[in-house]
Amino acid sequence: MSLLSSDEAKVWLMFQQGKPTSMIAEDADEGWTPAYVSRVLNRTRSKIEGALKEYAESHRLDVEKVLDYHGLLLGFDYQANAQVYIVYTERQGIIVWYRHGSYAGTPCSRCPKEADCADTLDTVEEEYGIHLSDEERALSHAERSTLVFEKLAAKEVPRYQRSRGGEKNG
């Protein structure tokens, strides 16, 4: 069962692809107004933030920052002495990712979880519109993950834009 309703998921994914609320309303073909989209986005952010904090608490993490517009929580696990990223994805749900350099000393290329890590990173990149160069994509999954989560945390959030005479702003 998804955390979000179908309207919430649609708005969230379009917002993460860089569309402001007015453009989402225009592109949705649902008869939505920008005000409705804004309310849905606020409700969605609240739901995601609550879920991220719940996961952080259940993993006994210290929460450093919640970036609700990005669906990302930055935390720290003192027992593991590791930075932890908790991110919401529509496809995989909540993902808890510990910053690491290897899998118990095994390089990523020989790790039994390599395919899972690649799929998870691909999902985050796709849903949040994060673009990596060929060189960045060639990094180990441990190095690539740090880059992906740093880019997500630094990602610019779409701002409100009013359309002019039926013309779409971008």
For the chain, domain boundaries: 6-154
Strand partners, 103: 106
Residue (of 65, 105, 71) closest to 88 by Cα position: 71
- What's the pLDDT score for residue 117? 92
159: confidence class by pLDDT, cuts 50, 70, 90: low
Q: State the Cα–Cα distance between residues 49 and 73, nearest whole angstrom.
A: 8
Q: State the Cα–Cα distance between residues 9 and 7, nearest whole angstrom.
A: 5
- What's the pLDDT score for residue 111? 85
Q: Confirm whether pTM is higher than 0.95.
A: no
Percent of the chain with pLDDT over 90: 75
Of 28 and 158, the structure prediction assigns the larger pLDDT to 28
- What's the pLDDT score for residue 160? 53
Question: Mean pLDDT score of the chain, rounded to an integer?
Answer: 89
Tokens 């390089």: give the residue. 107
Could you tell me the two tokens for 166? Answer: 């039926």
Asked whether the predicted pLDDT for residue 46 surpasses 50, the reply is: yes
Q: Is 47 exposed, middle or buried (0-12, 13-18, 19+ CB in 10 A)?
A: middle
Q: What are 66-123's pLDDT values in tens digits?
A: 999 999 999 999 999 999 999 999 999 999 999 988 777 888 888 888 899 999 999 9
Asked whether the predicted pLDDT for residue 62 surpasses 90, the reply is: yes
Percent of the chain with pLDDT over 70: 92
Asked whether the predicted pLDDT for residue 136 surpasses 60, the reply is: yes
One-letter amino acid at 103 equals Y
Segments in the chain forming alpha helices (H): 6-16, 21-27, 34-58, 114-128, 134-137, 141-154
| Sheet bearing 82-89, strands edge to edge | 62-67, 72-77, 82-89, 93-98
